[in-house]
Chain A
Amino acid sequence: MAQPASRPVFAPWNDPAAKPLIQFKSVTKKFGEFVAIDDVTIDIFAQEFFALLGPSGCGKTTLMRMLAGFERPTKGQILLDGKDLADVPPNRRETNMMFQSYALFPHLSVWENIAFGLKRSPMPKGEIGPRVEQMLKLVRLDKFARRKPHQISGGQRQRVALARSLAKAPKLLLLDEPLGALDKKLRQDTQFELMDIQEKTGTTFLIVTHDQEEAMTVASRVAVMDHGKMIQIDTPDRIYEMPNSVYVADFIGDVNIIKGNAKPTGEGRFAISWAEGQPDIAAASGAGIAAGTPVHFAIRPEKIAISADKPADRANAVKGRIEDIAYLGNISTYKVELANGAMIKAQVANDRRLARRTFSWDDMVWLSFTDTAGVILMK
């Protein structure tokens, strides 16, 4: 859906005058000899929904725990609103965290859990009650205020944990795999609920997740991490369309990676020779690549069209035999084997009923894509 033109786009990271809320300045964290975080620098802006994405053990949770105050950086600085956090203990930080295990206090009711932080804040006693009621309404748990955590369902517990961490109106809310324990359907509903709550409260959210779909859905920007290093920080669409490395392209979604050698053909166009007997791939790139440079060409399966005859208007077309078809309901993935044995995946939306499918196993087909459909990656 197109946004009305009058609505300003929220992108403080493109505004050089914008002041970041959180700054990591060359932060390194070591556990003994093990480097958990390796020289990370990030700026996170107020009201962002920022996602840290990576496989388990990549250091994303350590990064978050340093913000909460449970770990200290070995080197570097973390600033919140321009102030160094190094000597601020967790109980004095203007951040709150929603734990992966929810960490609800089992001996306290839902109401008391949400009031827990408020009772330890300068908030006057008379305002605590209304604030708790407001939070309960926000997460739609008004009816469960007197229940203990073990008397409510997993989804409700997750919402109590969210309400508890939002109650003190923190400058920054940290969410550690908040939806990990929920089943898929509930997780998707909750993702939209989270975005809604984030918009309503105007709080800055930092979410840690290993689920790329979740990160893409909720976040304004995604940071992809691997082995303690920041690989790419960008908006979800750019992370998907313009990955900066084979690692990011492969980690986010499905992708065909083709190894070859690039040769400039002028005006940001390149020809990639990649296999004997196959035509060169025509691709575009903004980077200056010298002739003969080994590169990776990455193209998403849904950007490859499949047809019986060779299309005349596409920059790239290769012929192959359908090896396998994976039917996923809304889409089908065709695995096509080329003459040289290379396997290319193409994805087609199933806009017709299955019985009327045009192609079947062992059919010879043409795969085609434009010269701007894929990206050339150097690493």
Chain B
Amino acid sequence: MNRRFSWFNATSLTLGFAFLYLPMLILITYSFNESKLVTVWAGFSTKWYGELIHNEAFLDAAVVTLKVAVMSSTFATLLGTMAAYVLIRGGRFYGRTLFSGMIYAPLVMPDVITGLSLLLLFISIGLDRGIGTIVLAHTTFSMCYVSVVVSSRLATFDQSLEEAALDLGCTPFDAFRSVTLPIIAPAVISGWLLAFTLSLDDLVIASFAAGPSATTLPMKIFSSVRLGVSPEINALSTIMISIVTVGVITASLISKRSIVKQRAEEQKAVRN
């Protein structure tokens, strides 16, 4: 196999990355634009970041978004971890295949359908739409991601550790709390971060689930853009990009490091 870095490879790499990241680069660049006109470069400035702090509407939306993200990712982590545990440890119970299929289905479900069905549910049971319903909606779709992350860790977990805990006098719950949970903690944390970032960027589902009383940041940005793109929005988007980037990188680093560490320890154990 030719492993040399050929011109063809270089071109496809450049094109691919340009395709993915050029729009974001432009957005970040223009967030530092002095001019009020988005498309005309008038020199470097951070003044739009300053103005952003005084924009009440944006700040309110940011607070709502953070509240929703923290709550929904926490619920999603609880439910997703439980689902993963049952799927991996529950043995072959009746309907297991159906259950595991149903856990993963929302991953590929179009957001519009998830949003619409939730909206119909909220209306039919007479639930007032607001922060609460957005949290519910976000929990619903992000718990699937958590359960995927946690179950892949649980699948490689030595079950005799749990048996040892039971053998030494733990109740099944105590065994989970004092042995299983500390060991799978990195996967649970990275699941939480994933759910958090997913909730942070969601526009479609939030639009369906939100009422007039609650507006998330992506919703606010989307509605402002319809009146024209302002440099303030560029600045705001840049901040969101950085938060999401940090979240995703941290999550993947945590899970990767724990896998590497676990492998190293297992190899060490084999060698000894």
Residues of chain A touching chain B, judged by Cβ–Cβ distance below 8 Å, are: 68-70, 89-93, 95-97, 99-101, 103, 105-107, 116-117, 120-121, 150, 153-155, 157, 164-165, 168, 181
Contact = CB atoms under 8 A, between A and B. Distances in A.
Given A103-B161, A154-B272, A164 B168 contact: yes
B227 interface: no
B157 to A, nearest CB: 11
A90 B163 contact: yes
Interface stretch (B47-55, B169-177, B217-225): B169-177
Given A106-B265, A157-B272, A97 B164 contact: yes
Contact of A168 (B160, B164, B168, B179): B168
Contact of B268 (A99, A150, A164): A150
A91 B166 contact: yes
A120 B169 CA distance: 6
Interface residues of B, number: 20
B229 interface: no
The 7 A-B pairs with the shortest beta carbon distances in the complex, nearest first, are A154-B272, A117-B168, A120-B169, A103-B164, A103-B160, A90-B166, A150-B265
A270 to B, nearest CB: 51
B168 A96 contact: yes
A117 B269 CA distance: 23
A96 B170 contact: no
Given A106-B183, A120-B174, A99 B269 contact: no
Given A103-B161, A106-B183, A91 B171 contact: yes
Nearest to A164: B168
A233 B262 CA distance: 42
A96 B269 contact: no
Contacts, number: 67
Given A97-B164, A99-B164, A150-B268, A107 B169 contact: no
Contacts of B168: 91, 96, 116-117, 120, 164, 168
B169 A91 contact: yes
B182 interface: yes
A107 B182 CA distance: 7
B182 A91 contact: no
Contacts of A164: 168
Contacts of A68: 163, 167
B162 to A, nearest CB: 9
Contacts of B169: 91-92, 117, 120-121, 168
A150 B269 contact: yes
> SS class of chain B's interface: helix, strand, loop or mixed?
helix
Contacts of B56: none
A105 B167 contact: no
Contact of B167 (A90, A100, A101): A90
Contacts of A154: 269, 272
A63 to B, nearest CB: 16
A100 B163 CA distance: 12
Interface in B117-170: 158, 160-161, 163-170
A106 to B, nearest CB: 6
A101 B158 CA distance: 9
Contacts of B160: 99-101, 103
Most central of A92, A96, A100, A105 by chain B CB within 10 Å: A105
Nearest to A105: B179
A121 B164 CA distance: 15
A153 B167 contact: no
B161 to A, nearest CB: 5
A347 B179 CA distance: 53
B164 A153 contact: no
A303 to B, nearest CB: 40
A200 to B, nearest CB: 21
A154 B167 CA distance: 22
Contacts of A69: 166-167
Most central of B165, B167, B170 by chain A CB within 10 Å: B167
Most central of B170, B171, B174, B272 by chain A CB within 10 Å: B272
30 contacts: A68-B163, A68-B167, A89-B166, A90-B166, A91-B168, A91-B169, A91-B171, A96-B167, A97-B163, A97-B164, A97-B167, A103-B160, A103-B161, A103-B164, A105-B179, A105-B183, A106-B183, A106-B265, A116-B168, A117-B168, A120-B170, A150-B265, A153-B272, A154-B269, A155-B272, A157-B272, A164-B168, A165-B167, A168-B168, A168-B169
